[in-house]
Amino acid sequence: MLATSTVAEEILDLKTDRRAILLAHHYQDAEIQELADFVGDSLELARKAHEAEGDVIAFCGVWFMAETAKVLNPSRIVVVPDKDASCSLVEGCPVEPIRQYKLRNPDHVIVSYINTSIEVKAESDILCTSRNAVQVVNSIPAEKTVLFLPDRNLGNYVQQQTGRANMKIWQGSCIVHNTFPLRRLLEAKEAYPRAVVVAHPECPADVLRHSDFIGSTSAIIDFCRDSTAEEFIVMTESGVNFSLERVAPGRKFHYVANENCNCSECPFMRLNTLEKLRDSLLYLEPRVELSGDLIARALVPLERMLAIR
Ligand code: 13P
Ligand code: SF4
């Protein structure tokens, strides 16, 4: 490696030396997405991790996504640039109350959003992402009561889409999407009256009611690519702009600031930087380490989800 290399060049060299694949979520900084072998939503990244060859998966996203990669491909070394890249949904859903709930309700089916800790996944019957949550809940026999966790906005959206009455919803939320105020969306609609509104289902119900399309990050990007509209108001993390500008050049994308950070960036996702990515490839740390027992138990609900196409 040359002393004068840029950090990006160092990463590319290390990627080759380590036989690493670089997976990035749409919410990463553009400079990370530019270097990635694959950029996608949480479901696509799980599938890519499953089939990844080589020795190392450098996962540029949040920790629960990297844990999922480790479960699906346990013989690989999985590193994340920043160990503190957590998620408010994970933090708001500890495992112990779920264990207690299972003891009280052994016949209920636990559907967990992939934004959960590995311990919660291991207690779950099936997992879902924002992309397949409706299909996953529809796959459960109608007479069974479902506990959907942990995102209440996604849960309410799924309940509305499936018309399922016997569904209990955990009251967690995303600090980014749940704090997009309707007032600001309405202001944006007034400022850009021709814009089509696209939203992630983690947004509050009133925001979703005023949206023209609701879907996962990749579904939003595909929708904008295929739409004939020239302008969009995008109700999700603004990292999606990298792919939107690539697949739909010349269109206009407007972002609405939330009330948490007065921005539309996930503070956890944005902990990852090029320098930390370089160091994670150099030192192979921070590394996801999981016990064989946890891997085996979390794999069951994960494979059930992946079997649903
Ligand atoms: P996707 O499943 O759309 O990638 O979303 C993950 C996420 O964390 C949304 O906040
Ligand atoms: Fe978690 Fe929200 Fe960040 Fe997604 S945007 S990783 S749900 S805190």
Residues 6+ apart with CB under 8 A from 111: 124, 125, 126, 127, 128, 133, 136, 137, 140, 146, 147, 148, 149
What integer pLDDT is reported at residue 2 of this predicted model?
Answer: 47
**Ligand 1 centroid – CA 227 distance (Å):** 21
- Is the previous residue joined to 193 through a cis bond, with omega within 30 degrees of 0? no
Q: Whose CA is nearest to atom 2 of ligand 2?
A: 174
Beta bridge partners of 213: 198
Of the candidates 66, 75, 30, 27, the residue with the CA atom closest to the CA atom of residue 48: 66
d(CA 167, CA 116): 19
Of the candidates 182, 39, 2, the residue with the CA atom closest to the CA atom of residue 199: 182
The 3-state DSSP composition of the chain as helix, strand, coil percent (nearest 5) reads: 45, 15, 40
**Going from the N-terminus, what domains does the chain have, and what CATH number goes with each?**
5-85+269-290 (3.40.50.10800), 89-175 (3.40.50.10800), 177-255 (3.40.50.10800)
pTM: 0.96
What integer pLDDT is reported at residue 309 of this predicted model?
Answer: 81
**Ligand 1 centroid – CA 293 distance (Å):** 27
Over the chain (309 residues), the average pLDDT of each successive run of 10 is: 76 98 98 98 97 97 98 98 98 98 98 98 98 98 98 98 98 97 98 98 98 98 98 98 97 95 96 98 98 98 95
Residue 100: other Cβ atoms inside 10 A: 10
Ligand 1 pocket member 42 (CB < 6 A):
yes
What integer pLDDT is reported at residue 1 of this predicted model?
Answer: 46
What integer pLDDT is reported at residue 89 of this predicted model?
Answer: 98
The H or E element containing residue 78 is strand 77-79
Q: Whose CA is nearest to atom 7 of ligand 2?
A: 174
Q: Which atom of ligand 2 is nearest to the CA of 62?
A: 6
**Ligand 2 centroid – CA 308 distance (Å):** 24
d(CA 180, CA 260): 8
Cβ atoms 133, 123 nearer than 8 A: no
Query: Which of 28, 41, 62 maximizes ligand 2 atoms within 8 Å of its Cβ, making it the mutation to test the pocket?
Result: 62
Query: Which of 42, 127, 175, 235 maximizes ligand 1 atoms within 8 Å of its Cβ, making it the mutation to test the pocket?
Result: 42
